Amino acid sequence: MLEVDGVGFAYGRAHVLNEVSLSVGPGEIVALLGSNGAGKTTLLENVSGLLTPDNGSVQFEDEDITGMAAHQTWNRGLVHVPEDRKLFPDMSVDETLDIGTPRDISDEQQASLRRRVFDIFPILEERLGQRVGQMSGGQQQMVSMSRGLMAEPDLLLLDEPTLGLAPDLADDILDTIAQINNEGTTILLVSQQALDALDIADRAYVLENGRITLSGTAAELRQTDEVRQAYLGL
Ligand SMILES: Nc1ncnc2c1ncn2[C@@H]1O[C@H](COP(=O)(O)OP(=O)(O)OP(=O)(O)O)[C@@H](O)[C@H]1O
Ligand SMILES: [Mg+2]
């Protein structure tokens, strides 16, 4: 479904990504692990079109999307839920869901997409009129993911969805990610909470200083010394 091949990217003269290659197959949850500043967010931005790779290519569903603008990849079903949630604090939940909703769908389709979102996050139905800036961090993460789900993504790029959340809430969000995947959405999950991410992932990659240094099934990676020491604290 997603094929990243030899992607390189520099901010000015600062090389952040070097020859990064990875793939995500239909139906998978693939985790991308790596410490602060490894280049995880930059990689997602190069995939979704917020940034354009200097080298290499990105294929999505057999189409070359290298350098395509973010609104075009979004329309194709590749949806990026960003690290800092990028919500407008003065907008209501209702208005925020509308941002993610394709403009050309019928009222019935919109209602059924909302129904699906409320099945996943029931609290949002009760909070439709609330300003998102007044909500807790966990609820804001739900709003940000829901805005993405309204686009009916084939592939969701999730950047640190549990960052800053209390452990219970983080567990809830991870369960929800597994549920969204079970219902048919493929997921590329960036997380510093490696143990949790590996719990729900099929496969994983480790990115260090802009290079992929390890990859394998989640079970394999959980057993490597590098991952145990660097990310699992074992
Ligand atoms: N807009 C920018 N301009 C210049 N350098 C940047 C910019 N954004 C990120 N960087 C640098 O690029 C490198 C990779 O950053 P990036 O945010 O992709 O890492 P990350 O793996 O997502 O880190 P974190 O786990 O902290 O989110 C870092 O050295 C960072 O300082
Ligand atoms: Mg990041």
User: Is 13's C-beta closer than 6 angstroms to any atom of ligand 1?
Assistant: no
Q: In ligand 1, which atom is closest to the CA atom of 43?
A: 18
pLDDT for 193: 81
Ligand 1 neighbour 114 (Cβ under 6 A): no
* pLDDT for residue 59: 98
- The label of the residue with tokens 């143990």 reads 195
Cα-flanking dihedrals φ and ψ of residue 56, to 5°? 85, -175
Q: Are 66 and 58 in contact (CB under 8 A)?
A: yes
Q: What per-residue confidence (pLDDT) applies to 176?
A: 93
The CA 86 to ligand 2 mean position distance, Å, reads 13
Q: List, in order of start, the domains of the chain with CATH numbers.
A: 2-92+153-230 (3.40.50.300)
Which residue CA neighbors atom 18 of ligand 1 most closely?
39
Q: Which ligand is nearest to the CA of 42?
A: 1
Ion ligand 2 residues within 5 Å by Cβ: 40-41, 83
- Ligand 1 pocket, residue 138 CB under 6 Å: no
Ligand 1 neighbourhood includes 29 CB (under 6 angstroms): no
Q: Is 46 in the pocket of ligand 1 (CB under 6 A)?
A: no
Q: Whose CA is nearest to atom 6 of ligand 1?
A: 11
Whether the predicted model's global pTM rises above the 0.85 cut: yes
pLDDT tens, per residue, the chain with 234 residues: 999 999 999 999 999 999 999 999 999 999 999 988 999 999 999 999 999 999 999 999 999 999 999 999 999 999 999 998 789 999 999 999 999 898 889 999 999 999 999 999 999 999 999 999 999 988 999 999 999 999 999 999 999 999 888 888 889 899 999 999 999 999 999 988 888 899 999 999 999 999 999 999 999 998 888 777 776 665
132 CA distance to ligand 1 middle (Å): 26
How high is the pLDDT of residue 232?
A: 62
Which residues, in sequence order, are bridge partners of residue 29? 187
pLDDT digits (tens, 9 = 90+) for 191-207: 888 888 999 999 999 99
Best mutation site among 18, 32, 42 for ligand 1, i.e. most ligand atoms within 8 A of its Cβ?
Answer: 42
Ligand 2 geometric centre to CA of 39 (Å): 7
Task: Calculate the average pLDDT of the chain.
Answer: 93
Q: How far is the CA of 208 from the centre of ligand 1 (A)?
A: 12
* Pocket lining: 16 vs ligand 1, CB cutoff 6 Å: yes
